Structures are given as structure tokens and as C-alpha cells.
């Protein structure tokens, strides 16, 4: 009886903050039981954005650990902190050390991929593989969408913030998506809430991200990454994704990397194609052999229910 109770408790979700420095705490959601899968959200959506993927992974026997980087979601927003990707990677590593998690697969969306890759470069013991959702290794956080958010800050304050932010975010979601069926009033409200609840703090974080400087160039970081990396790209025309040349740089630099395009999907793959993301995790668990670059490498056919690595290896 006690074993059953302990098993049930182990699968119940737990949410908590972990302090990594004075005034710096990261919000964590831990749920499920099994091999750990670390989920790193991008700029918007926080842990809510991974709800579909997390549920699928729990059904497949994994534990999920969503970690919101500093300034994202419910994590703290200290002014004057270092918001570079390198600093964020060090904080995520500190959280994983605190939780005793090593050798995990990391699923990272958009800017979260830059954090994951930098962490893999300096703490190879923490990461067994990376599934990147529309993310590469950015030189800095100064993306067009972030610059636009900072420019719109004064307008949002002037008109009251929350309602205007929802309208702007909905339009951004529409432009960034291939399959737009996931964009509902409830989802938009959940994506908007953390930023709208502390608009000044959020805009301060965004400005600090724009001003941050990385201690190492992307080329040096990529030269140190040795874990397998599977990059998923939305195949529908959409805003927000990495440029083709950025993806090509990743493919040239990493020893074990595969890029797969998901037709009719856009930037928010965890929302538009959650089963394909879960499939990618399952495939990554089979080992790096499926990612070995070859001119005749077959498509992974994600979201098709394949799990056997023999289905994915081309014959000699």
C-alpha cells in the first residue's frame, strides 16, 4: 500500500522556486516518473507552453522538469542581472545540480535552444541530447521580435497594458503559426499573464536581454558541443523561425545533428505538433546513431508513431 501511495505522490506535479543567486530564482514544474526530460521555454508562454508535450511524455513513462529562465514566466525579474545566454545556461545548470539531474534530454524552444547549447558546451555531464524547436545558437538575444516588444512598451503602458498586450500577442501568434487552431482566448491569456502582471519588470528584462553580451562567440560554443542535437523546423511560411543560414551553420559545426521539417507547422511546434515533439524525444532515447549525418539518411517521420531505430537507419 505504501509503495502505491509513494508512486502516486511521485507522479503528482510539484511547482517551486529554486534560488540560484541573491534576488535570482527560477521557477520549476516537476511531474511524472521515469527518465528526466528537461523542458526550456522560449521568451513567451513559460511552463504553460509545454503542457501538451509534458502530458504526452508522462504517458510514455518520462518525468518532465520545466525550468523557466530568469525573467521568463514566474521566475524572478531582477533589474541589473546578467541576462546573457551564458548566464542563463549557468543558472539552469545550477538548478539541475540542485535537483540531482544529469544526463537528461533537453527540449528547448526558440531562444531556449541558445541556452541549452551553451550549457552543453560547458556542462556536458548534464545533457544527453537536445531537441531544438525552431532554435539554433543565436549570437545574442537581440531578435526582431524582442526589439519590437521593447519598442511597444510605452504604448502598452499608455493603453493599460493587459488587453493591448493580448491583442498584439494574438497577432504575433497568428503570424508565427502554420496551424492556428491552437490560438484561443484562453491560451492567449495564459501566454500574456506573466508579462502583463509585471509589465515594467518584463520590459526591463527585455532591455537587459538586448544589452547583454556573450562571453564567447557562437563558433567557440559550437566547437565544444558533443551531444546529439535534433532540430525541428516548421515547414509552413511563418515569422519567428531561424534563418536558413543559421541552421546550416549548426549543421556544419556539430558532429551529431539532424534537421527535420514538420509540414504545415510554424514556430510554436510544442503547440502545433506536440506529438512530433514527443516522438523526437523517444527517438533521441534510441541513441545518437539516428542522427549520424549521411547523404542517404531517411526522414525521421516524426508524429508517425515510429519508435524502432531499425526503421530509421538506411541500408549500406
Give the global pTM: 0.88
Residue predicted with more confidence, 183 or 298: 183
What does the pLDDT average to over 281-301? 62
**pLDDT category, 126, cuts 50, 70, 90?**
very high
Q: DSSP class of residue 139?
A: S
Strands 24-32 and 63-68: antiparallel
Give me the percent of the chain exceeding a pLDDT of 70: 83
pLDDT of 224:
96
Burial of 97: CB neighbours in 10 Å, binned 0-12, 13-18, 19+: middle
What confidence category does residue 131 fall into, taking pLDDT thresholds of 50, 70 and 90?
A: very high
Q: Poorest-confidence range of 66-75, 113-122, 142-151, 189-198? A: 142-151
- pLDDT higher than 60, residue 299: no
* Mean local confidence (pLDDT), 128-150: 86
C-alpha closest to that of 310 among 282, 281, 290: 290
Q: Where are the domains of the chain?
A: 12-311
- Predicted pLDDT at 286: 78
> How many CB atoms are located within 10 Å of the residue 299 CB?
10
Mean pLDDT, to the nearest integer, of 158-168? 65
Distance CA 258, CA 117 (A): 15
Residue 309 pLDDT > 50: no
Pairing relationship of beta strands 24-32 and 36-40 according to DSSP bridges: unpaired
Residue 248 has pLDDT above 90, yes or no: yes
CATH superfamily, domain at 12-311:
Alpha/Beta hydrolase fold, catalytic domain (3.40.50.1820)
Amino acid at each position: 500500500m505504501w509503495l502505491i501511495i509513494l508512486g502516486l505522490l511521485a507522479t503528482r506535479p510539484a511547482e517551486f522556486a529554486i534560488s540560484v543567486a541573491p534576488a535570482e530564482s527560477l521557477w520549476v514544474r516537476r511531474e511524472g516518473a521515469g527518465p528526466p526530460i528537461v523542458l526550456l521555454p522560449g521568451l513567451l508562454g513559460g511552463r504553460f507552453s509545454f503542457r501538451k508535450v509534458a502530458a504526452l511524455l508522462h504517458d510514455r513513462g518520462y518525468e518532465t522538469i520545466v525550468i523557466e529562465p530568469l525573467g521568463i514566466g514566474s521566475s524572478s525579474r531582477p533589474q541589473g542581472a546578467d541576462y546573457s545566454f551564458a548566464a542563463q545556461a549557468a543558472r539552469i545548470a545550477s538548478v539541475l545540480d540542485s535537483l540531482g539531474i544529469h544526463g537528461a534530454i533537453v527540449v528547448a524552444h526558440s531562444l531556449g535552444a541558445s541556452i541549452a547549447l551553451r550549457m552543453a558546451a560547458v556542462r556536458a555531464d548534464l545533457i544527453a541530447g537536445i531537441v531544438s524547436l525552431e532554435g539554433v545558437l543565436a549570437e545574442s538575444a537581440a531578435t526582431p521580435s524582442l526589439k519590437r516588444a521593447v519598442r511597444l512598451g510605452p504604448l502598452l503602458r499608455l493603453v493599460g497594458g493587459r488587453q493591448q498586450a493580448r491583442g498584439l500577442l494574438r497577432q504575433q501568434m497568428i503570424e508565427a503559426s502554420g496551424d492556428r487552431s491552437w490560438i484561443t482566448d484562453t491560451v492567449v491569456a495564459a501566454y500574456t499573464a506573466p508579462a502583463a502582471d509585471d509589465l515594467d519588470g518584463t520590459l526591463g528584462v527585455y532591455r537587459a536581454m538586448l544589452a547583454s553580451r556573450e562571453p564567447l562567440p557562437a563558433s567557440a560554443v559550437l566547437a565544444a558541443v558533443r551531444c546529439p542535437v535534433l532540430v525541428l523546423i516548421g515547414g509552413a511560411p511563418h515569422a519567428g523561425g531561424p534563418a536558413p543560414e543559421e541552421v546550416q551553420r549548426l549543421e556544419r559545426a556539430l558532429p551529431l545533428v539532424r534537421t527535420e521539417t514538420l509540414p504545415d507547422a510554424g514556430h510554436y511546434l510544442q503547440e502545433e505538433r506536440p506529438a512530433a515533439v514527443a516522438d523526437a524525444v523517444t527517438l533521441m532515447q534510441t541513441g545518437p546513431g539516428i542522427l549520424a549525418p549521411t547523404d542517404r539518411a531517411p526522414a525521421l517521420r516524426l508524429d508517425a508513431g515510429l519508435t524502432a531505430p531499425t526503421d530509421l537507419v538506411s541500408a549500406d
